[in-house]
Amino acid sequence: MLNCRFIRNETDRYKNVVLPLNSVRLAEIASRIQLELFPLLESTVNSFNSENRVIVTTWSDGRLENMPRWSMLELVIYWENLDLNLEKIVSAVFSAQLKTLKGVYIKPSEVEVHDIKKYPIMNYVNNIKWKTMFFPTRFIDSKFLGGNEKMYKNLWIKFIHEIQSINNKKIKEFSRKIADHKKTLETGKKKFKDTIIEYYNPVERTLNLYYKSKYDSILKNGPLRVYQYTLAKLMMVKWRKDGVSNTDIDYLIKMDKNILSKLEYLRDDLKKFIKW
């Protein structure tokens, strides 16, 4: 029997304040974006129109995996004919308004603004290294927060077309990320933020789900990555092999992006694609 050390995500242990769960918090943020931020942006930025924009959150928030107390919210905004000065303005407005919400932390650098026509949805531009990487999970895990829902669906169509048009080298490149995280399963250790973290002790048979001094999930950054990336790879293989229907896209948009939802989405295809 494994002994799991686990910190629940409903309570801020240090201030003894009960915080909303991730999904509740995101619903509150989505409401604030639609009712308050859009009108404010439209009055501040002449080229802004809520009907021609899509705002999503991604990474762990999109998958509903983050702990609200320590989660740094990341927003991605897509639209056409982007004004080069717009990112700074939008970042400042979002930061000023969202900081009033309990349990929400956001930096201006965490708000990305991209031109839909120019930006490859399947790629991720690392703002620290300014390096473009093939990172499909960034959009696969995105959660719609505000703007034009029809445009969000069109983004999904564009994204899937991008996945279908790439060569197999990109898929294999992504597979190397899976192999890297598999090492964590084999060794029980993971280098995270310049620290070697032991998530599994075979002698004590303990599984550390969270690294307390960093408030980060070892489970999330170790073994969970294997499943997250493997399912993303299987989804890409499915789309490239069988195509994607409108019903399929509607399901992808509505479903939660966590592991269980992806397993349900691939349930009938797992045996077919697992040997790929």
* DSSP code string of 102-154: TT-B--GGGEEEEETTTS-TTEEEETTTTEEEE-THHHHT-EEEEE-HHHHHH
Q: The dihedral of CA 230, 243, 115, 118: what is its sign? A: positive
Q: Which of 165, 198, 222 is the last residue of a domain?
A: 165
Considering the domain architecture, whether residues 137 and 188 belong to the same structural domain is answered as no
Helix (H) or strand (E) holding 210: strand 210-211
Considering the domain architecture, whether residues 157 and 180 belong to the same structural domain is answered as no
Burial 177-188 (b: 16+ CB within 10 A, else e): bbeebbebeeeb
Query: What was the pLDDT predicted at 159?
Result: 93
Query: What was the pLDDT predicted at 36?
Result: 86
Considering the domain architecture, whether residues 29 and 123 belong to the same structural domain is answered as yes
1 contacts: CB under 8 Å, gap ≥ 6 = 205
Q: Which of 98, 133, 165 is the last residue of a domain?
A: 165
Query: What was the pLDDT predicted at 108?
Result: 62
For residues 124 and 133, give the distance between their C-alpha atoms in angstroms, rounded to a whole number.
Answer: 5
Considering the domain architecture, whether residues 192 and 203 belong to the same structural domain is answered as yes
Query: What was the pLDDT predicted at 207?
Result: 64
Considering the domain architecture, whether residues 81 and 190 belong to the same structural domain is answered as no
What phi and psi, each to the nearest 5 degrees, are found at residue 196? -80, 120
Considering the domain architecture, whether residues 48 and 146 belong to the same structural domain is answered as yes
For residues 118 and 269, give the distance between their C-alpha atoms in angstroms, rounded to a whole number.
Answer: 33
What are the per-10-residue average pLDDT scores of the chain (276 residues)?
36 45 83 87 79 86 72 82 75 80 69 79 64 84 91 93 90 87 76 72 65 54 79 91 91 87 84 65
Range of the domain at 189: 168-273
State the total domains in the chain.
2
Considering the domain architecture, whether residues 43 and 118 belong to the same structural domain is answered as yes
For residues 237 and 195, give the distance between their C-alpha atoms in angstroms, rounded to a whole number.
Answer: 35
Considering the domain architecture, whether residues 201 and 78 belong to the same structural domain is answered as no
Whole-prediction pTM = 0.81
Considering the domain architecture, whether residues 138 and 14 belong to the same structural domain is answered as yes
Considering the domain architecture, whether residues 91 and 177 belong to the same structural domain is answered as no
Facing residues of 33 across strands?
A: none
Considering the domain architecture, whether residues 121 and 217 belong to the same structural domain is answered as no
